[in-house]
Structure 1
Amino acid sequence: MKTKLGFKYNTGKFILSQIDQLAHKGEEETRGFTKKFAQKWSEERCNESERYRYDRIRYLAQFSSYLCDLGIPSYIPKLPRYPKNTFIPYIYSQKEILALFKASDELRSVKRNMNSCLICMPALIRLLYGTGVRIGEALALKDEDVNLEENYLRVKDSKNGKERIIPISTSLVSVCKEYRNYRDHLPIKDSPGYFFISANGNKCGQGVGSWFKKCLSEAGIHYTGRNHGPRVHDLRHTFAVTSLASMAEAGVDLYASLPILSNYLGHGSIGATNHYVRLTANMYPDLIKEVNMTCLNVFPKYRNYETN
């Protein structure tokens, strides 16, 4: 039902399968969930984040509520307090960005791997930094979504399900054309039509993260570990902060421009974009000192930074 309504629901599918496994292991016989089963499912697990535990219980509560709507008695567990998000994004400096570009250009493979995403890394990193699109949105781009004659991208597979058009600079167009020219000379018979592909023509995927870590190492940027970063997604955060700083430097009213940046980034609301104003204010206090700081309280103060 969820997927037919348009939800990706990948995490939900995985968690529901785990619920099924626990029910099978415990030889549950009731049609709905019992309080005892819900309590067993809700127990804290070793090395589990508060956010993931919250999501586990939430999916059980949603499914149990669905069963009740069908007339099947089922216990609906109470959700724990929503965990606070203390994550602060890493903002790359201009020097670090240039170092990442250089490192991506100098990447080399020590062995033959036709499933490697190496060939697209220089163009991909520049596109992520130059447009602020999410990594998933960039990898989902088809050839017809990248218009290098009229200089724009069409993002269809968005996190919020909102299709949007993103203009791109002439320098980024040149990079994308150079990559496409090289890519089109690969001996690929049946290409799936994605813009960023591996050497064998398949859509780029998990290998991007590994290559990006190598770029960080070569650029002299310390990687602090999984879920701590710096990460590929921080290029998006850097784009947002850099854009706001550039607008402030040009004398543009930031709050008049906030809806434009929000739509450009594909956010569901302006409130999701607003935290970048505070982050920019902290990083460039002299640059945006003209901004009325009272306006920073227009939206609730929270750190709901994107983590994927």
Structure 2
Amino acid sequence: MTARGLAGDAADFLNFRRAMGVQYHRGEFVLKGFVLFIAEQWGEQTVALDEAVRRWSSRVAGRKAVTVSQEFGVVRQLCLYRRRTDPWGYVPEHALAPVKESPFLPYIFSHEEVLWLLHAASSHRGRWIWGPMFRALMLVLYCTGLRLGEAVHLQMEDLDLRRNTFLVSHSKGRSRIVAFRPDLAKELNQYLEARRQILRIRRVKEPQALFIRLDGTPLTVKSASEAIRRLLRELAIKPPAGRIGPRPYEFRHAFAVHRLTAWACAGVDVQAKLPLLSAYLGHQDVLGTEVYLKATPQLLDLASRQLQNHLRHAHTPE
């Protein structure tokens, strides 16, 4: 394999990924760096791909294992793609980059904390952030697991109250439809009525954004994030200073963990449900969803008891 040949394979692989609706900007950056490394090390000489991958993965000492693993995953996907036309093509073993996920464990809001936040948001009176909108935003975050940016960027046309769905467009390189329950639809109808009153009082043109500030302009991710952080500090859920403690993103984590916990309590096969939850959350693969299985002791305990119960009732072969 030469750098020139690998560059052609990488271009074909990127076209293949994007034909499936994945923008893959980060992957393109990694692959360009990999090809450049081979060109700098070997020029136009032929190189064994296993040696190239090994030396590229260890090219910088002291890098975070999760960073190495993420880059390694992109190159491994390229190798798997090449094997479609070359059955004997090299595919690196996972052992070259054993860490597949970040050791970070998210903060999970309790049900009581969610209720405190919703109550405080409902009565919030800020210069730009107003109570009904703040409450509706938090409900969307918690009840659907949308990322903060996804929720803030929702347009009026993305909301379908006949089918109770959101259209989340071009997030992480893809679009998806997110369904929600009738109780959230009821809350959104109440918010939309309050929204109409605000626009009528302010005498401003109907904006495309679903979530608007008190002056009728679209809500921004920055102002929403700052408002949520302030509320977390006011309720002593987050320390009064510093970057430690729960973040606005924690609503998404709480949604996922509470959903998995409810399934586990109902005796549902959680592992079988993971791909469904992964697709709903907009994860690229189920690995991004599996981290939630380790997020709370309660969920781990439920999973352990389910396994013990399954083994206890399993038939012993004669």
Aligned to 1:197: 212
Aligned to 2:251: 235
Aligned-pair identity in percent equals: 31
Q: What SS does structure 2 have at the residue aligned with 1:292?
A: helix
Q: What SS does structure 2 have at the residue aligned with 1:208?
A: helix
| Structure 2 residue 126 is the aligned partner of structure 1 residue 106 | no
How many residues in Structure 1 have an aligned counterpart in Structure 2? 235
Alignment of 1:57-76 (within 5 A): 61=33
- Following TM superposition, by how much is the alpha carbon of 1:217 offset from its aligned partner in structure 2, in angstroms? 3.1
Aligned to 1:153: 166
TM-score, normalization by structure 2 = 0.63
Are the counterparts in 2 of residues 154 and 165 from structure 1 also a CA contact under 8 Å? yes
Describe the superposition over 1:41-87 as per-residue Cα deviations: whole angstroms up to 9, x where unpaired: xxxxxxxxxxxxxx9xx79958977x98xx9xxxx994452355442
Are the counterparts in 2 of residues 117 and 207 from structure 1 also a CA contact under 8 Å? no
Going from structure 1 to structure 2, the CA distance change for 1:203 and 1:99 (only over 3 Å counts) comes to closer
- Give distance in 2, aligned partners of 1:59 and 1:188: 52
Going from structure 1 to structure 2, the CA distance change for 1:214 and 1:106 (only over 3 Å counts) comes to farther
In structure 1, the gaps of 5 or more residues are 12-54, 294-308
Aligned to 1:215: 231
- Give distance in 2, aligned partners of 1:257 and 1:152: 20
Going from structure 1 to structure 2, the CA distance change for 1:256 and 1:292 (only over 3 Å counts) comes to same
Aligned to 1:23: none
- Give distance in 2, aligned partners of 1:215 and 1:206: 14
Are the counterparts in 1 of residues 106 and 295 from structure 2 also a CA contact under 8 Å? no
User: Structure 2 residue aligned with 1:164, among 159, 162, 176?
Assistant: 176
Describe the superposition over 1:10-50 as per-residue Cα deviations: whole angstroms up to 9, x where unpaired: x9xxxxxxxxxxxxxxxxxxxxxxxxxxxxxxxxxxxxxxx
- Following TM superposition, by how much is the alpha carbon of 1:7 offset from its aligned partner in structure 2, in angstroms? 5.2
Q: What SS does structure 2 have at the residue aligned with 1:153?
A: strand
Going from structure 1 to structure 2, the CA distance change for 1:263 and 1:227 (only over 3 Å counts) comes to farther
Structure showing greater radius of gyration is 2
Are the counterparts in 2 of residues 118 and 211 from structure 1 also a CA contact under 8 Å? no
User: Structure 2 residue aligned with 1:122, among 118, 135, 149?
Assistant: 135
CA RMSD across the alignment = 3.5
TM-score, normalization by structure 1 = 0.65
Letter of the 1:194 counterpart: A
- Give distance in 1, aligned partners of 2:169 and 2:151: 10
Are the counterparts in 1 of residues 232 and 238 from structure 2 also a CA contact under 8 Å? yes
- Give distance in 2, aligned partners of 1:150 and 1:226: 42
Describe the superposition over 1:140-177 as per-residue Cα deviations: whole angstroms up to 9, x where unpaired: 11111111222111111312x22212111111111111
Describe the superposition over 1:73-124 as per-residue Cα deviations: whole angstroms up to 9, x where unpaired: xxx9944523554422100111111111111112112xx45xx466521100
- Give distance in 2, aligned partners of 1:200 and 1:8: 35
| Structure 2 residue 69 is the aligned partner of structure 1 residue 87 | no
